[in-house]
Amino acid sequence: TKLLEGKNIVVMGVANERSIAWGITKSLHNAGANLIFTNRQERSYNKLVKLLDKHEIEPKAIISCDVASDESVQEAFNEIKEKIGVIHGLVHSVAFAKREDLQGEFVTTSRDGFLLAQEISAYSLVSVTNAAKELMTEGGSIVTQTYIGAEQVVPGYNVMGVAKASLEASVRYLAEDVGKHGIRVNAVSAGPIRTLSAKGVANFNEKSQVVEEKAPLRRNIDQDEVGDATLFFLSELARGITGEVLHVDAGFNIIG
């Protein structure tokens, strides 16, 4: 049988075909998962419906969820509980910062911009984990998406690097809290991938060029590779792993 046969997995954050969450969707679908999607905007909803149709993937549900609102998160998981019941996995592939905070110097970050990045990119994992754990009555696995800017200074990544550091620490604290319920929490740290969100980060092209030059594999990675690593975390193959950050970056992070 397939790795995720009969498992109900919630995927948050498909904006379009380039989204990391779309690469993840393909991996999970091929592994036999039942997929439930949440997205924020009407625009992404329409794109997602078309994409699923094109790839002949039948969603169990598509539910609107804006992680900026506690009410929206609670309503989304109430709806999932009504329609699906038990869930076994959650993919968190959501982040946001103001474009003006993703260039120039970090030191000029505004209070608003700092809090917004923390709220959407880090706190959202806390709130959805709290809501999802109620539906993970058979145990479960939660996977989020992070970036090396959490560990090192990546010029221009700025406020998002600090938000990702907060996200990675949250992964560890959440792993401790929900571990006693048989729920695991992990993160994939992907190399740079050209997506809608990546467009907002200054010097994106430069970053992916540096990876091609310096990474042990001498290339960038793609959404499908992140998808397969996320599938691993969601599957029984990773049953002994929690609180972990796994680099899917062609080895870039080991090079000084």
Mask 144-163, x = binds ligand 0WD (CB under 6 A)?
-xxx----------------
Q: What is the DSSP string of 176-239?
A: HHHHTTTEEEEEEEEPP---TTGGGSTTHHHHHHHHHHHSTTSS---HHHHHHHHHHHHSGGGT
DSSP 8-class letter at 244: -
Which residues, numbered 124-143, are part of the site for ligand 0WD (CB under 6 A)?
A: none
Q: How far is the CB of 151 from ligand 0WD (least distance, A)?
A: 12
> Cβ(226)–Cβ(25) under 8 Å?
no
User: Does 230 engage in binding with ligand 0WD (CB under 6 A)?
Assistant: no
User: Does 95 engage in binding with ligand 0WD (CB under 6 A)?
Assistant: yes
Q: How far is the CB of 203 from ligand 0WD (least distance, A)?
A: 12
Q: Tally Cβ neighbours within 10 Å of residue 182.
A: 13
User: Does 66 engage in binding with ligand 0WD (CB under 6 A)?
Assistant: yes
Considering beta carbons, is residue 4 or 249 the nearer one to ligand 0WD? 249
Which residues, numbered 178-207, are part of the site for ligand 0WD (CB under 6 A)?
A: 190, 192-193, 195-198
* Distance set, CA 52 to CA 25, 47, 57, 116, 230 (Å): 9, 9, 5, 31, 19
Q: Where are the beta strands (DSSP E) in the chain?
A: 8-12, 34-39, 61-64, 89-92, 140-146, 183-190, 245-248
DSSP β-ladder status, 183-190 and 245-248: parallel
Q: Could you say which of 31, 117, 120, 250 contacts ligand 0WD (CB under 6 A)?
A: 120
Instruction: Give how many residues touch ligand 0WD by CB under 6 A.
Output: 29
Q: Could you say which of 9, 15, 51, 174 contacts ligand 0WD (CB under 6 A)?
A: 15
Q: Which two tokens stand for residue 206?
A: 């430069």
Which residues, numbered 28-57, are part of the site for ligand 0WD (CB under 6 A)?
A: 39-41, 44
Catalytic residues: 147, 157
Considering beta carbons, is residue 87 or 116 the nearer one to ligand 0WD? 116
Q: Could you say which of 10, 13, 24, 127 contacts ligand 0WD (CB under 6 A)?
A: 13
* CA angle (69, 87, 23) in 5-degree steps: 80
Binding site for ligand 0WD (CB under 6 A): 13, 15, 18-21, 39-41, 44, 65-68, 93-96, 120, 145-147, 190, 192-193, 195-198
